Amino acid sequence: MPVRKDIKKVLVIGSGPIIIGQAAEFDYAGTQALKALKEENLEVVLVNSNPATIMTDKFMADQIYIEPLTKDSIKKIIELEKPDSLLSIIGGQTGLNLAMGLYEDGFLKKHNIKLLGADINTIKKAEDRNLFKQTMKKIGQPVIESKTANTLKEAEEVLNSIKLPVVVRPAFTLGGTGGGIATTKEEFLNIVKNGLLYSPISQVLIEKSVAGWKEIEFEVVKDSASNTITICSMENVDPIGVHTGDSIVVAPALTLSDKELQMLRTASIKIVKELNVNGGCNCQFALNPNSFEYAVIEVNPRVSRSSALASKATGYPIAKVATKVAIGFHLNEIINQITKKTYACFEPSLDYIVLKFPKWPFDKFSYANRNLGPQMKATGEVMSIATNFEQALMKAIRGAEINQETLTLKEFENLKDEEILKGLEKVTDKRIFLVFEAIKKGVPIKTIENLTKIDSFFLSKLKNLAEMEKILTSEKTNKNSTFLDEELYVKAKKMGFLNKTIENLTGKKIKNKLNANFKMVDTCAAEFLSSTPYFYSTYDEENEALSLDENLKESKKVLVLGSGPIRIGQGIEFDYCCVHCIWALKKLNFKAIICNNNPETVSTDFDIGDKLYFEPVQFEDVEEIIKTEKPMGVIIQFGGQTAIKLGLQLKKANIPILGTSFESVDVAEDRKKFDALLEKFSIPRPKGYSVFSVDEAITAANNLKYPVLLRPSYVLGGQNMVIAYGDEDVYEYMKIITKNKLENPVLIDKYLTGIEAEVDAICDGKNCLIPGIMEHIERAGVHSGDSISVYPSQNLSEEIVSKIVKYTKTIASALNVVGLLNIQFVIHENEVFIIEANPRSSRTVPFMSKVTNIPMVELATRVIFGEKIKDLNYGEGLIKNNNYVAVKVPVFSFEKLNNVDVHLGPEMKSTGEVLGVSNNFSDALFKGLLAAGYNMNYENKKGVLITVRDKDKPEIVPIAKNLKNLGFKIYATKGTANFLNKNMVSCTEVLKAHESEKSRLNLIKKIEVDLLISTSYKTKVQNKQKHLI
């Protein structure tokens, strides 16, 4: 059956800002869904608050609303647009929850709106824990013994029937927010308390822990004729107990016999049929490793992170097929886009394996609790494709950009056996490396398996890698030959070692370097002829990548480097830029080749580029692609620091970098060179030095006078950046940063307070086009990515604006920037200082492209290929402001991480962003804050708690006064209270956390306080009291 006749206009709800547990995968799914709907000529209305997405590009739907994802705003949109149906399965948990909320308000019924994909019964059966259990019982599917509780008292009673350890899962939250495993009663009560708070319906599920069982997932697609197929099985290397988003995952499942696999496949199909999902569904199982016993853990009747992974792993576009199915198609009516010969109703067969490795934000949060459990902590992930596990893991490790080429982690090398054994029991982001160290030290596989519950199949593969590393290292002492044995070399390459690593480990030169050969991902293990331009590297015989485009002129090929895994500081924005670059290249009649390793993104959808190489964005891997493709050049300016980082090596290898040259990037990054350039043009910048040692740092800091800003060079997202207020801060910082040998210096700048402004410009080497100037609400010192950004600027005088424009133009031409340029300024005592200039795309490019309607990446790409700014027809210099105000508000994921300082500083902490647009500033800001999830409803005003450091006290007086006038009750800690009371603002004094456990914390816990105003003194140093807040 083709499109249902009763569907004409569809509302699609996106997933909103990127947060831990809900990331770029929903842009990927959303983009596919919108394309699928447009193909059927349906009218499509989209609502999503995240501007950094491809799905919110204006040509993706007929009407796009970048509005807060709240029931109220969606209701308004529905009243205005009058859609006849709502696609509920694309916007993650956010979309599903909103769809359910609208239904329960009776709003959908009132407006005659059909739910497509998952209807209300489906959603309820999957999401309501009790209903889910009943449903599973009805179809004979085993579930883990569990009970729900709505109060702490109820929860305590549950412990009478279900014994500890138990898992606590709050209802209706994503990524397991607020959940945890409890082994003691105290832990239990703590987690339950939290869980009840986080659950929108104040409900937690308490279940028997099956920690240690295998965790297996199936991605299933079903149509309205009940045809049901499984796309992919996946196996978590880390057993049950670790959130699947934090686990290393392989596809297909590798340790299951056909009998076990078919048992779970059959169960998945039964479940999806019973839930009556018309679309995609994810089923998670726990499987006892010692029997056929299993239990259904969770079912998600929507696209998910796992479905994105399964799509990339198999080449089967789940979101697209799910959408087609949701609007009425049957699986045998949808053509398989890969083979173009077969239909969507088949199950992919793989002739490779896929491995997913999570990317955690712990490098940003030095003091965060690194333990992994049922609450997801990873911000992103990488995927690798290979024909063996060893190679897949090696590719993933180096692609995760954690400074690892092998599994040997320096800090573990000197651990004693008992320390290792003890460490193995704890699951952290580093455990896989500790396991590797244990294997290298000769700890028996069986022992490790008992401690970690990681299947010995995987441990044996790690052992193969450890043995290879040992053999390679032992070559160092083998003086018989200066060259490496060829057979050993080939073996190492097939296991995924880089030439560089092999030469380093062996101390020997490689005589004949092997070239990688690329294989196609085709959904069918080569059974049918396909022409998917989707490849991965192997060291097998045949190179398939070349057979596709024999008639392609090499001079017309361009390689675009992607931005790797999503992390704090380098998120979906850079993928947005890469995708637009590819589209621009296609328009310009180039063949666009993309290299990236992030399974969640749009750029790694096989039909975006002319060719996709799913490979780590690391030099040797990229070099192999270049050897095969011989492109005319490489574009690195859109892939964030991941791509920019490769500039030097590309340059050394004589590979042309298209656009801004490596030299220009280097001038911008190199303190001395950049200072010289600024001096030459009399552009002021905060005084600063570059240093390598603690002593140098202390001297420099004292010369500059505190406060000073410390940061390493060549980083993005302000990684490891702090403000130091005294020598002890500098000592602490330098101690941490010099733990590893410094390749690049640490930069120390005078920290200037003032308004921060930011510019993104497109430059052709001479002239530039500045779409607009953004002003940050937070003062300088808070990382630009964490600041609320306002366009157009609200508080800058004409004189300041013209200075900003002048400096931008000067730097653009001095650096000979060809493409994009981002500059950050601080306005201090009416003077404009440059904080930094980056000749590459930035986090704000999607935001500015959207609010100014200037296709910045496309223009930058055209400039890269020789067009001039003046011929682009978008004007020159600063473009006139539009008649509206746009506010970009950062979104944080603090509730997912423990022991993290929530105060903002120079190091970026936000994971995503939302946009608020209106015709005046305050409305735009209000919308932005609402979209970011701040509860802006203060009808029943309670109180505001203020605790600020001494230097901020004068500034807080007028703010407190205003709040008081608005009707808030003011609470303050001792010092602040004294100051406020002295200055005629009456307030109630409360004790500091360390002064009394009960006072301040209890106040917040009881939610008597709506707002908390706190400024911190320390930055990196953990201050327990703060976190208790």
Partner 1 sequence: MFTNSKKSATLILSDGTKFKGETLGKKGTTIGEIVFTTSMTGYLETLTDPSYYGQIVMQTFPLIGNYGVNFSDAEGEKPKLFGYIVKDCCKTPSNFRSKESLEEWLTKNNIIAIKGIDTRKLTKIIRENGVLNGAITTEEIENEEEFLKKIRNFKIKDAIKNCSTKETKILTGNEEKTNVICLIDFGVKKNIVTNLKKRAKKVVLMPHNTTKKEIEEINPDGIVLSNGPGDPAENIEIIENLKEIVSLKIPIFGVCLGHQLLAIANGAKTEKLKYGHRGANQPVLDVFLNKILITSQNHGFYVLNNSVNEKIAKISHINLNDGSCEGLKYLNIPAFTVQFHPEAAAGPLDSNFLFDEFFNVIEKYKINKLI
Site residues, partner 1 (CB under 8 A): 225-227, 229-230, 252, 254-259, 261-262, 265-266, 269, 289-291, 331-332, 341-343, 345-353, 387-389, 445, 455-457, 460, 463, 519, 524-529, 540-542, 544
Nearer to partner 1, 273 or 992 (CB): 273
- Please report the DSSP string for 651-668 in residue order: HHTTPPBPSS-HHHHHHH
Nearer to partner 1, 11 or 269 (CB): 269
Phi, psi of 362 (to 5 degrees): -70, -20
Nearer to partner 1, 415 or 471 (CB): 471
Nearer to partner 1, 351 or 695 (CB): 351
- Contacts made by residues 919-924, CB under 8 angstroms, sequence distance 24+: 919/883, 919/884, 919/885, 920/885, 921/790, 921/794, 921/885, 921/887, 923/885, 924/790, 924/884, 924/885, 924/886, 924/887
The answer to whether 1000 and 992 have CB atoms below 8 angstroms apart is: yes
Closest approach, Cβ 525 to partner 1, in A, equals 4
- Please report the DSSP string for 910-970 in residue order: --EEEEEEESSHHHHHHHHHHHTT-----SS--EEEEE--GGGHHHHHHHHHHHHHTTPEE
Closest approach, Cβ 333 to partner 1, in A, equals 11
- The amino acid at residue 169 is R
Closest approach, Cβ 453 to partner 1, in A, equals 12
The answer to whether 95 and 83 have CB atoms below 8 angstroms apart is: no
Distance CA 920, CA 971 (A): 32
* Helices and strands: H and E segment counts in the chain: 34, 39
3-state secondary structure of 94: helix
Nearer to partner 1, 331 or 748 (CB): 331
What is the torsional sign of CA 45, 46, 51, 52?
negative
**What is the edge-to-edge ordering of all strands in the sheet holding 969-973?**
988-990, 969-973, 943-947, 1009-1014
Closest approach, Cβ 454 to partner 1, in A, equals 10
Closest approach, Cβ 266 to partner 1, in A, equals 5
Closest approach, Cβ 455 to partner 1, in A, equals 5
The answer to whether 907 and 719 have CB atoms below 8 angstroms apart is: yes
Nearer to partner 1, 121 or 460 (CB): 460
Closest approach, Cβ 140 to partner 1, in A, equals 15
Closest approach, Cβ 132 to partner 1, in A, equals 24
Nearer to partner 1, 355 or 948 (CB): 355
CA proximity to 173, closest of 270, 300, 5, 64: 300
Q: In whole angstroms, how large is the CA radius of gyration of the chain?
A: 28
Closest approach, Cβ 440 to partner 1, in A, equals 17
Nearer to partner 1, 347 or 867 (CB): 347
| Burial annotation 369-404 (CB, 10 A radius, 16+ → b, else e) | ebbbbbbbbbbbbbbbbbbbbbbbbbbbbbbbbbee
Nearer to partner 1, 252 or 745 (CB): 252
Closest approach, Cβ 540 to partner 1, in A, equals 4
3-state secondary structure of 758: strand
Nearer to partner 1, 347 or 666 (CB): 347
Closest approach, Cβ 245 to partner 1, in A, equals 24
Distance CA 487, CA 573 (A): 44
The answer to whether 946 and 980 have CB atoms below 8 angstroms apart is: yes
Closest approach, Cβ 457 to partner 1, in A, equals 4
Preceding amide of 792 cis, omega within 30: yes
- Please report the DSSP string for 829-875 in residue order: TTEEEEEEEESS--TTHHHHHHHHT--HHHHHHHHHTT--GGGTTS-
Helix or strand holding residue 318 (H, E):
helix 318-326
Closest approach, Cβ 447 to partner 1, in A, equals 15
Nearer to partner 1, 352 or 619 (CB): 352
Nearer to partner 1, 541 or 743 (CB): 541
Nearer to partner 1, 514 or 737 (CB): 514
Closest approach, Cβ 417 to partner 1, in A, equals 22
Helix locations, 661-772, DSSP H: 662-669, 671-680, 694-704, 727-737
Nearer to partner 1, 456 or 1014 (CB): 456
CA proximity to 18, closest of 962, 992, 1018, 908: 908
Write the burial class of residue 866 (CB in 10 Å: 0-12 exposed, 13-18 middle, 19+ buried).
exposed
Distance CA 896, CA 886 (A): 28
Q: Looking up tokens 């600041």, which residue turns up?
A: 787
Closest approach, Cβ 527 to partner 1, in A, equals 5
Nearer to partner 1, 396 or 761 (CB): 396
Helix locations, 481-555, DSSP H: 486-494, 499-506
Q: Which 3-state string (H, E, C) describes 63-88?
A: EEECCCCCHHHHHHHHHHHCCCEEEC
Closest approach, Cβ 350 to partner 1, in A, equals 6
Closest approach, Cβ 505 to partner 1, in A, equals 23
- The amino acid at residue 519 is K
Q: Looking up tokens 């596709």, which residue turns up?
A: 548
Nearer to partner 1, 453 or 556 (CB): 453
Give the CB-side neighbour count of residue 984, counting CA atoms within 13 A. 4
Nearer to partner 1, 413 or 486 (CB): 486
Number of neighbours of residue 717 by Cβ within 10 angstroms: 24
Distance CA 333, CA 321 (A): 10
Closest approach, Cβ 529 to partner 1, in A, equals 7
Nearer to partner 1, 456 or 881 (CB): 456
